[in-house]
Amino acid sequence: MQNFIIKESFAQDSNQTKQEFSIVSFTPIILIMIVFYLLIIRPQNKKYKEQKEMIENLKIGNNVVTSSGIIGTIKNIDNKKNQIELEIAQGVSITLFKQYIQELVKNEEENLSKKNKK
């Protein structure tokens, strides 16, 4: 008989401890997701778009730096194969894919003219 009373009391306690669904319990997770988006995903997407735009606007004669650190001048662009020919020294050229171009090298004259305009 005592077992029956104990079982009833446990059953009553378990019903009282159930929590209802609440948006408040998910608020920290939602805030973490928003912060993650603003601090990591959004800047990365912006940088990717800028890189893609820079690669699309490459021209013969541009001085560039590759992702491996090689500095050279673009001598030929093959859009069908998505490749460029890069002259790294006088008479020395290499062929590589466009996506390996990291950045354009600004000429000192361009930098001085921008400073003078300010």
Band of the pLDDT at 19, cuts 50, 70, 90? low
Residues 49 and 75 in one domain: no
Q: What is the dihedral of CA 39, 40, 43, 47, to 10 degrees?
A: 160
Convert the pLDDT of each residue in 34-90 to its tens digit: 999 999 999 999 999 999 999 999 999 999 999 999 999 999 999 999 999 999 999
DSSP helix/strand/coil, 105: coil
Of the two residues 6 and 66, the one the predictor is more confident about is 66
Residue 8, sorted as left (phi over 0), alpha (psi -120 to 50) or beta, turns out to be alpha
Structural domain includes residue 91? yes
Structural domain includes residue 12? no
pLDDT at residue number 97: 95
d(CA 117, CA 114): 5
DSSP codes joined into one string, 83-94: EEEEEEETTEEE
How many domains, the chain? 2
Band of the pLDDT at 99, cuts 50, 70, 90? very high
Unique residue bearing structure tokens 């600004």: 106
What is the DSSP secondary structure assignment for residue 103, as one 8-state letter?
Answer: E
CATH number at residue 96: 2.30.30.100
DSSP helix/strand/coil, 32: helix
Q: Mean pLDDT, the chain, as a whole number? A: 82
Residues 34 and 45 in one domain: yes
pLDDT at residue number 116: 58
* Identity of the amino acid at 62: N
